[in-house]
Amino acid sequence: MTDTYRPDWVPEDAKKDDTYACHVMKGVKEMHDGLLSSSAHLAPSVRPVQRRKKLTVADYVRGIEQGDRVILSRAITLVESNNKDHFKLAQQVLQAVLPRTGKALRIGITGVPGAGKSTFIEAFGNMLIEAGYKVAVLAVDPTSQVTKGSILGDKTRMETLTKHPEAYIRPSPAGGTLGGVARKSRETMLLCEAAGYDIILVETVGVGQSEVTVRSMVDFFMLIVLTGAGDELQGIKKGVMELADAIVVNKADGDNLKRALIARSDYDRMLHYIRPATEKWKTQAYTCSAVTKDGLDELWDVIQEFAEQGKENGVFLKRRQEQSLRWVRDMIDEHLHNLFFNNVVIQGRMGEVEAAVLDGEMSESQAVEELIGVFDKSLK
């Protein structure tokens, strides 16, 4: 097996050759064709590609419910496809598995590049699996144009986790709007839940609004930080600390331990000034080490306490319900926005109108009136 080409953790339907990237973009059918046509170029050690049977909704549902990773991956690829037929099929599958969703604990993880998110996920994920859980790791990276998601980039740091049968790792859906990526990631999460994963870790690279998006799809959100408060903190984006249910000072080991403890108390002091992200929950800072595993157990206790407490006082369910309704409204807004701004006539007119606004020749309201008029006419 040529591990370079086919790491175990790359979804089954996407690990045949290095053109995987654009296949994911194109969707299932094209991928399938692409695989057929490109298989001739593959190294001999790659097993020959068989023409894949088209699955029915029932096939997908059965496969997912049995925890079949190949079928789960194919269902996720459907969810990620921009093809209308795939979308419809995906929605039918989703509808059928819906009763099996929602039971996992959803945990979001963010942090500046270099904070050690991947090593943390590797260590934390392995600990969870040892404790008997099935763990799915997803990523939300709207900047990922193809498959250069952080998880893929960091695969070497998740070496043991990726090989584990109880772990399922899926890179970020490729590119597109944040709203599109968010929809795909949420539905991927639901599919993983239906496939029996108990804990979903959703990583975000922290670009643009992606933390807010991930916060809006998880129960518990943690910020991984480096040791040494102060200047390093400048790298943390505005408002991100306010989203966190826990701040985790990573790399609290060896020579770094003392600094990590100082950072922890610095963060605790800062948190005093910030309103917690979750009602009735006190956000605090913790230390841990992906190397020595110190602090990982404690962190898991904190998360479990968070979930138990929230389920008792109603905050947990309330947030999930608010998230659901918010998703619906956000998706509608996104749909309307795209309908307007992707309209060819609007695109043709926009530059001119914006220039008139910037030159002070047109007020903003007039620009809006003008563009809405153009849009209405284009629909007739």
Of 38-46, 52-60, 61-69, 273-281, which part binds its own copies (CB under 8 A)?
Answer: 273-281
| Apex 187 CA angle, 186 and 192, nearest 5 | 100
From 107-115, 135-143, 235-243, 247-255, give the range in contact with its own copies by CB under 8 A: 235-243
Contact 242, 277 (CB under 8 A): yes
* Total H helices, total E strands in the chain: 15, 7
342 binds its own copies (CB under 8 A): no
* 148 vs 237, beta carbon nearer its own copies: 237
Which of 239-252 are b and which e, b meaning 16 or more Cβ less than 10 Å from the residue's Cβ? ebbebbbbbbbbbb
- 137, 176 in Cβ contact below 8 A? no
Closest CA to 315 of 273, 277, 283: 277
Position among 130, 336, 347, 352 found at the interface with its own copies (CB under 8 A): 336
Q: Does 368 bind its own copies (CB under 8 A)?
A: yes
Encoded amino acid at 203, one letter: E
# residues contacting its own copies (CB under 8 A):
55
Q: Which residues ranging from 37 to 66 are in contact with its own copies (CB under 8 A)?
A: none
- Please tell me whether residue 85 binds its own copies under the rule CB under 8 A: no
Q: How many CB atoms lie within 10 A of CB 102?
A: 13
Compute the half-sphere exposure of residue 373: CA atoms within 13 Å on the CB side of its CA. Answer: 7
Residue placing its CB nearer to its own copies in the complex, 41 or 88: 88
Range 86-105, binding its own copies (CB under 8 A):
91, 94-95, 98-99, 101-102
Question: Which stretch in 8-16, 25-33, 185-193, 284-292 sits in contact with its own copies by CB under 8 A?
Answer: 185-193
377 binds its own copies (CB under 8 A): no
As beta bridge partners, residue 169 has 137
- Cα–Cα distance between 138 and 130 in angstroms, integer? 19
Q: Which two tokens stand for residue 59?
A: 């096939």
Q: Is 207 in the site for its own copies (CB under 8 A)?
A: no
Place of tokens 């914006």: 354
Nearer Cβ to its own copies, position 35 or 182? Answer: 182
Instruction: Work out how close the CB of 288 gets to its own copies at its nearest, in angstroms, rounded to a whole number.
Output: 21
Q: For the packed helices 57-65 and 178-194, what is the interaxial angle rounded to 10 degrees?
A: 60
Residue 153 vs 276, nearer CB to its own copies: 276
CA distance 332 to 338: 10
Q: Does 260 sit near its own copies (CB under 8 A)?
A: no
Residue number, 275 or 377, with CB nearest to its own copies: 275
Residue type, 110: T
CB of residue 279 to its own copies, shortest distance in Å: 13
Residues in the site for its own copies, rule: CB under 8 A?
91, 94-95, 98-99, 101-102, 183, 186-187, 190, 229-230, 233-234, 237-239, 242, 270, 272-275, 321, 324-325, 327-329, 331-333, 335-337, 339-341, 353-354, 357-358, 360-369, 371-372
